[in-house]
Chain A
Amino acid sequence: RKEVEQDPGPFNVPEGATVAFNCTYSNSASQSFFWYRQDCRKEPKLLMSVYSSGNEDGRFTAQLNRASQYISLLIRDSKLSDSATYLCVVHASGGSYIPTFGRGTSLIVHP
């Protein structure tokens, strides 16, 4: 079993739709969590960190469920420009950690 798992998709949604992605992690000692966005043939860029209490940034909401060991990303009112791959990243606790990326979930927003 992979340490960080994501449904690769693609998720194909119309503009204006609400879409949600989940990411599960296996290491219960994981401490910090992130969503990165990666456009085709580009480098990953931070979308948002995921806090224990959940956090929102405009149309994007991230949630953490430690009991079930998953994080989620909700995108409301999808735009064409949201089309990208969304990477889940998990950092284990401790002074020396290995950032572990999921394989990413592909989102395609169509007119």
Chain B
Amino acid sequence: EAGVVQSPRYKIIEKKQPVAFWCNPISGHNTLYWYLQNLGQGPELLIRYENEEAVDDSQLPKDRFSAERLKGVDSTLKIQPAELGDSAVYLCASSATGTSYETQYFGPGTRLLVL
């Protein structure tokens, strides 16, 4: 069974440029998460989707970050414009139904460097 797929794996951009990350969850998983992980820190939740509905986006900086999961399958996270402090690893995860007892399966992440 294929795991969570993310692309690109690495991205280098200049500040003020836009950037987008793509995630395809495990087939059949209804819940999708986007996390940000800084060096030496644990992942921090940005947004959680149940199917195509964003059910937790309180920690998403909405002035520059946006996300969508139009058909309830794959998802895109966008930053526009990027700032130096956005350099981090962006992780996508999925779980089957989104109950709090479920395992999350993570993708390999996208490593973003903003110059």
How many residues of chain B have a CB within 8 Å of chain A? Answer: 21
- What number of A-B contacts does a CB cutoff of 8 Å give? 52
User: Which of A63-71, A73-81, A97-105 lies at the interface?
Assistant: A97-105
Interface 0/1 of A18-53, CB less than 8 Å to B:
000000000000011010000000111110010000
A96 → chain B closest CB, angstroms: 6
Which range contains the number of A residues in contact with the other chain? 20 to 34
* In the complex with contacts A44-B106, A93-B100, A97-B100, A87-B55 CB distance below 8 A: no
- CB pair B101 A44 closer than 8 Å: no
> Once the chains are docked, how many angstroms separate the CA of A87 from the CA of B93?
15
A-side residues, CB < 8 A to B, are 4, 8, 31-32, 34, 42-46, 49, 87, 91-94, 96-104
